[in-house]
């Protein structure tokens, strides 16, 4: 009779046990809050503690798939560690149990660190810990019995544990996604503005020429955030606390905000990570209340410098109080977007929108806490990762038509695109063929200074290869600079240009 397990068999026991453990936690997280899934919580913690060079590398290398890359990387590490737990247990189950116990405790700690979970959430990683140790012990025991009988693999045990894990993981994903915030979102209905935005002029875009539509459909609106699993905040559970350098602390429920007279404004949001010519810009009508009113009701103290906002998942953002109070800017606490409640991925139940500032210093999604404070007292999330404290949106323009490297017929050619200078407004856009003169483009009607404008121009293009450039001039008289700046620390600059070949 053998006294130790074959290597492959031992490793497989570790892998199946850890897989079943992770799946069990994931299934429970569907009921306890998505972020209580130990795998998600460990991923969040890894992302949080990663040095900024690593997260920047991840973003540069994997672009919008950096989170997927993180999960795949975690999966590989888990697989290896699980196999190791099996391999060190070829004789006795104790070493593997200890290792799995240690992973389990790390999962518990990662979930405990989440700021957005109730106390019950601890059940998910505890289940992971128990299932991991239990399945490991069980498979290990069976393996020894069966080894004694025929020296073969414990196929039935693997089948049961493996199938159970698969079903639990898929069910956890499906149930988790379908519950929570989506249900609540469907129940609240679209917030109705007492002061709707003025109707859009008929010529608000040149989408027939290939520019974006003036309003970006919610499904196409660019999305940027640090979360791995979308925060699931139900409107009925949501509270907004206003505190810090104020005369009186205030707390609002969803109904408190929704029942106030709501205002609707069209605003173009833009990400500081948007490269010249990039796609991280979109426009929507937002419905909400003036942030200024909430702060005024709380009574601002004169030392106030920064509105420090926190989301349900612990992301933080610092906005200058001056921008929040500026009546011409219309900073909002928004509940609605393009006639619907905010989509979950855009911050349901509530987010901040402050026209003229990049999202990372203004647009907190799933916002639950507003602290009025000073710059020195609080440092927001991206500040310690190389981005600057203030982020006014830089005046920019982009060519959308023709597409780069398009083969063109020589002769009259339509060039069209977008330009933006939120809070200042676009004065004009100019387009240049190679080193020729700048030619003024035709602009769409201005909806308001906080939204993008579309433009088009007709160029006479001789045969051969060409470069087409555009630049915007804003209402302050500023001419968009040719100087190229990286997105870090406060937004890219430079002219967008495309190569075309006419024949």
Q: Give contact residues for Mo ion (rule: CB under 5 A).
A: 224, 271, 359-360
Is the CB of 40 or the CB of 363 nearer to ligand MTE?
Answer: 363
- Which residues 215-244 are close enough to bind ligand MTE by CB under 6 A? 221-226
List the alpha helices (DSSP H) in 179-289: 181-188, 254-258
Residues 332-391 that bind ligand MTE (CB under 6 A): 346, 359-360, 363-366
CB of 267 within 8 A of CB of 284?
Answer: yes
**d(C-alpha 388, C-alpha 489), whole Å:** 5
- For 371, residues 6+ apart whose C-beta sits below 8 A from its C-beta are 243, 244, 307, 308, 309, 310, 378
Number of residues interacting with ligand MTE: please give it, by CB under 6 A: 17
Tokens 């405990």, residue?
112
Q: Which does 176 bind (CB under 5 to 8 A by kind): ligand MTE, Mo ion, none?
A: none
Partner interacting with residue 226 (select from ligand MTE, Mo ion, none; CB below 5-8 Å by kind)? ligand MTE
Least distance CB 380 / Mo ion (angstroms): 12
Nearer to Mo ion, 349 or 359 (CB): 359
Nearest-approach distance from CB 374 to ligand MTE, in angstroms: 22
Closer residue to ligand MTE in complex, CB, 146/237? 237
Quick one: which H or E segment has residue 56? helix 52-62
Nearer to Mo ion, 363 or 502 (CB): 363
The CB-of-104 to ligand MTE minimum distance in angstroms stands at 29
CB of 223 to Mo ion, least distance (A): 10
* CB of 479 or CB of 488, closer to Mo ion: 488
Q: Which pair of structure tokens corresponds to residue 108?
A: 């518990």
Contacts of 178 (CB under 8 A, 6+ apart): none
Which residue number, 50 or 501, has a Cβ lying nearer to ligand MTE?
50
Collapse the DSSP code of 211 into the 3-class scheme (helix H, G, I; strand E, B; otherwise coil) and give the result. Answer: coil
Judged by CB under 6 A, the chain residues 255 through 274 that form the site for ligand MTE are: 269, 271
d(CA 229, CA 117): 13
Give the nearer residue to ligand MTE in terms of CB position, either 179 or 223: 223
Q: If contact means CB under 5 to 8 A according to the sort of partner, which of Mo ion, ligand MTE, none does residue 394 touch?
A: none
d(C-alpha 269, C-alpha 356), whole Å: 8
Peptide bond preceding 81 in cis form (omega within 30 of 0): no
Residue pair 318/190 in contact (Cβ under 8 Å)? The answer is no
Residue 55 is a binding residue for ligand MTE (CB under 6 A): no
Beta carbons of 355 and 267 less than 8 angstroms apart: yes
Which DSSP letter does residue 338 get? T
In whole angstroms, the minimum distance from the beta carbon of 381 to ligand MTE comes to 7
Is residue 131 within a helix (H) or strand (E), and if so which, with residue range? helix 123-150
The residue ranges that bind ligand MTE (CB under 6 A) are: 221-226, 269, 271, 311, 315, 346, 359-360, 363-366
């Amino acid at each position: 009779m053998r006294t130790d397990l074959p290597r492959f068999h031992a490793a497989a026991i570790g892998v199946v046990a850890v897989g079943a453990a992770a799946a069990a936690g994931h299934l429970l997280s569907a009921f306890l809050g998505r972020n209580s899934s130990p795998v998600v919580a460990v991923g969040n913690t890894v992302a949080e503690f990663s040095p900024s060079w690593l997260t920047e590398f991840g973003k540069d290398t994997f672009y919008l798939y950096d989170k997927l890359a993180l999960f795949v990387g975690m999966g590989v590490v888990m697989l290896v560690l699980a196999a190791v737990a099996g391999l060190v247990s070829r004789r006795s189950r104790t070493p593997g149990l200890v290792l799995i116990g240690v992973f389990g405790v790390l999962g518990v700690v990662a979930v405990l660190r989440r700021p957005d979970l109730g106390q019950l959430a601890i059940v998910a990683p505890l289940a992971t810990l128990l299932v991991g140790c239990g399945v490991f012990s069980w498979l290990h025991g069976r393996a020894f019995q069966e080894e004694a009988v025929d020296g073969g693999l414990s196929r039935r045990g693997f089948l049961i544990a493996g199938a159970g894990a698969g079903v639990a993981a898929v069910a956890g994903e499906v149930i988790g996604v379908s519950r929570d915030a989506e249900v609540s979102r469907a129940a609240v209905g679209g917030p109705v503005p007492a002061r709707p935005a003025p109707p859009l002029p008929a010529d608000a875009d040149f989408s027939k020429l290939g520019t974006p539509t003036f309003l970006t459909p919610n499904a196409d609106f660019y999305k940027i955030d640090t979360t791995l699993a979308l925060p699931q905040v139900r409107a009925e559970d949501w509270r907004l606390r206003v505190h810090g350098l104020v005369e009186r602390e205030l707390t609002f429920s969803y109904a408190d905000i929704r029942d106030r007279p709501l205002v609707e404004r069209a605003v173009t949001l833009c990400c500081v990570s948007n490269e010249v010519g990039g796609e991280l810009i979109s426009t929507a009508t937002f419905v909400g209340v003036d942030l200024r009113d909430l702060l005024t009701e709380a009574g601002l103290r004169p030392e106030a410098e920064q509105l420090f906002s926190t989301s349900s998942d612990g992301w933080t953002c610092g906005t200058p109080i001056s921008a929040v109070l500026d009546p011409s800017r219309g900073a909002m606490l928004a509940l609605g977007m393009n006639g619907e409640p905010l989509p979950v991925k855009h911050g349901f139940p509530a987010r901040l929108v402050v026209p003229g500032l990049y999202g990372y210093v203004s647009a907190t999604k799933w916002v639950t806490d507003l602290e009025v404070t000073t710059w020195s007292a609080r440092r927001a999330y991206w500040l310690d990762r190389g981005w600057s404290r203030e982020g006014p949106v830089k005046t920019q323009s982009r060519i959308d038509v023709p597409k780069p490297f398009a083969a063109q017929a020589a002769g009259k050619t339509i060039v069209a695109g977008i330009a933006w200078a939120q809070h200042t407004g676009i004065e004009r856009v100019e387009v240049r063929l190679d080193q020729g003169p700048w030619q003024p483009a035709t602009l769409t009607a201005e909806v308001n200074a906080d939204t993008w404008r579309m433009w088009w121009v007709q160029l006479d293009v001789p045969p051969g290869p060409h470069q087409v450039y555009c630049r915007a001039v804003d209402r302050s008289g500023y001419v968009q600079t040719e100087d190229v700046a990286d997105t870090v620390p406060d937004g890219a600059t430079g002219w967008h240009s495309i190569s075309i070949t006419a024949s």
